[in-house]
Structure formats: structure tokens, C-alpha cells
Amino acid sequence: MLIGSALALGVVVAAAASGESNGGGNDPPPPGDDKRQRPKQGPPPDQVAVGQPSDPAIAAWLAELDAYLSREVPRVGWTARELTTMPKAPGAPVAIPPRSLWANMVPTLRLLVELRRRMGDEPLSLRAYRPPDYDRAVAGGGTSLHTYFAAIDIRHPDRRRLARTAARLVLDRPDESIGFGVYGAGPSGSPSNIHLDTGWRRRTWEHARAWLDNAKAGNA
């Protein structure tokens, strides 16, 4: 491995974004023919750097991604490492998205920072980037906004407060192209996690609509 080369990455996975396979599962549906409205930085990544943060090349890229994002967004409650970890892949490596996708995370991260502030600055557990092959493996269908580095999945021990607070935040931004998903349960239950994305179009799925209605009714 050539030290100092931009290509000297632990493993470079060629994740050809072929086809629009919809694996079903729990993330936003694929866009169909609506690709033109995808984030401008698209197309989906065709090369992804995967490796352990202990690898010097990966560590350097993580630091670069951290620096890039923190120029745009207060570095409160997030790290590039947390946004790029693939917990369900063997060894839980990080996957660093192609540079052309980095800007997609900025507006979503701004939303996240505001959500965290409304949650009383309590720590949130985050998952964000998924290469297309990993997205397919975890039921995102291979074309979810996670593959564009535009989506974050968020957990907090107080699941109901998280969903309620996120719904209020989405309601407060009626003109923004936010994707909002709430998984596991509606307002009468205990949801497992939420999803936020930006840059495509405003939409909801799973139990998100019920949580928005609940917030609208003044229960937030």
C-alpha cells in the first residue's frame, strides 16, 4: 500500500449502483423515475473507502471529513466516525463516502444539531452513511438517501420524546425538503428510532405521519 497516496485506503470497495432493487424493509422507498430531483451532488457513490479507523489512511480521511463538516455545522454531538460507521458489517468498519457526496450531509447535520439542542443537549446515537451494497444488506433497498450521505438515523433512550421532538422540528420547517421516518410505533407506543434526511423532497413514512398529526394537535 502506498503511503501518502489518496488511494492508499484500507480497502476500496467498488459498489456499483446498478439497478433499483427494492429490498423492502424499513427505509424510504427508491425514487423511481424521480432521479433528477435527487441531491445535486449525486449520482450514487461508485467508490467507497472502507476500513478501520486505526488504519492511518482511513484516520486521515475521517479527520478531513470532520474538518469539512465542522466548517459548515457546529461540531456538537456528532463525529465523522459516528456518521460513517457500519455497525452491521463484519468488524464494524467505517465507510467514507466519495468527496462529491460530502456536501449532502451539511443541511441534515444542521437539522440534527437543532434536534439535539431541543433534546436538552443529551447525546443521540447516530447512523448515517451506507454504501449501496450495505444499504441493500440492511434493507434500505440500495438507493436510500443514506447512500447519498444525506440521511441520519437517530436513537435516544427516551424514544417517545425523541419522536415527539423530531415531529415538532419537522412541523416548524414546513417549507423544507425533509424526509421523516419514525420506526416501530405511533404516538400510542414506543418507537425504535427515527430517520431524517434533506435534499430530495418532503415526505414521511412508517409512523411519521401519525407523530406529525400528534404534534399538530398540540401534544408536543
Query: Where does this chain bind Zn ion (CB under 5 A)?
Result: 27, 153, 195
CB closer to Zn ion out of 22 and 56:
22
What proportions of the chain, in percent to the nearest 5, are helix, strand and coil? 35, 15, 50
Q: Which helix (H) or strand (E) holds 148?
A: none
> How buried is 30 (Cβ within 10 angstroms: 0-12 exposed, 13-18 middle, 19+ buried)?
middle
**Least distance CB 195 / Zn ion (angstroms):** 3
CB closer to Zn ion out of 9 and 208:
208
CA separation for the pair 81, 112 (Å, rounded): 16
**Least distance CB 19 / Zn ion (angstroms):** 20
**Least distance CB 206 / Zn ion (angstroms):** 10
CB closer to Zn ion out of 108 and 165:
108
> How buried is 3 (Cβ within 10 angstroms: 0-12 exposed, 13-18 middle, 19+ buried)?
exposed
CB closer to Zn ion out of 10 and 181:
181
CB closer to Zn ion out of 25 and 157:
25
**Least distance CB 64 / Zn ion (angstroms):** 25
**Least distance CB 7 / Zn ion (angstroms):** 30
Compute φ and ψ for 37, nearest 5 degrees: -90, 5
What is the number of the residue whose Cβ is closest to Zn ion? 195
CA separation for the pair 117, 120 (Å, rounded): 5
